[in-house]
Amino acid sequence: MAQITLKGNQFETVGTLPVKGSEATFFCLVKTDLSEAGPADFAGKRMVLNIFPSLDTPVCAASVRRFNQEASSLDNTVVLCISADLPFAHSRFCEVEGLKNVVSLSTFRSPEFGIHYGVTIANGPLKGLLSRAIVVIDAEGVVRHTEQVPEIVQEPDYSAALKALA
């Protein structure tokens, strides 16, 4: 399990992020139109899994905007914004923000995603939500970069994630 903090208060996740060089774990999550999507839907593309607790927080919203601006303009790359927020919240957020280059996915039907990727918060006030993490998967389905953000209110290292896509 990973140790993370929320404004200095220590919490844990249910596991750890996938190991760099390992094959990405299968997942099936819900898109804003309530259809399901998984790695096969993005076969042959590089994926940035931007994982976060909720769109209703400023840091989560900032990371979605930033990846929309930077990573989604790269060739053969898709940004998957993943949280436990309902698909309706994802849709509303992207519409209000004018975001068209990210794929919003909800774990509401698939809580096992957070367990398999080691990002479900195990205790504290955010128990059951996802921690802030980045997983970059190459076009062959191999994990090339991971980051478990140690402090939930901290933004991820965008440059490291983008460098993994180079």
28, 60, 81, 94: the catalytic one is 60
Specify the pTM: 0.91
Contact (Cβ atoms closer than 8 angstroms) between residue 116 and residue 27: yes
CATH at 111: 3.40.30.10
**Identity at 96, one-letter amino acid code:** V
Contact (Cβ atoms closer than 8 angstroms) between residue 9 and residue 75: no
What is the rounded end-to-end Cα distance, in angstroms, of the chain? 29
The CA distance from 34 to 101, in Å, is: 18
Q: Is 28 a catalytic residue?
A: no
Q: What is the pLDDT along the chain (166 residues), one digit of tens a residue?
A: 888 888 888 999 998 999 999 999 999 999 999 999 999 999 999 999 999 998 887 776 777 777 777 776 788 999 999 999 999 988 888 777 777 777 899 999 999 999 999 999 999 999 999 999 999 999 999 999 999 999 988 888 888 988 998 7
Domain of residue 133 covers 3-164
Place of tokens 């062959």: 140
Count of structural domains, the chain: 1
The CA distance from 55 to 62, in Å, is: 9
DSSP state of 86: -
Q: How far from 158 is each of 76, 154, 155, CA to CA, in Å?
A: 18, 12, 8
pLDDT tens-digit readout, 24-48 = 999 999 999 999 999 999 999 999 9
Contacts of 58 (CB under 8 A, 6+ apart): none
The CA distance from 91 to 94, in Å, is: 5
Q: Which two tokens stand for residue 63?
A: 């990371």
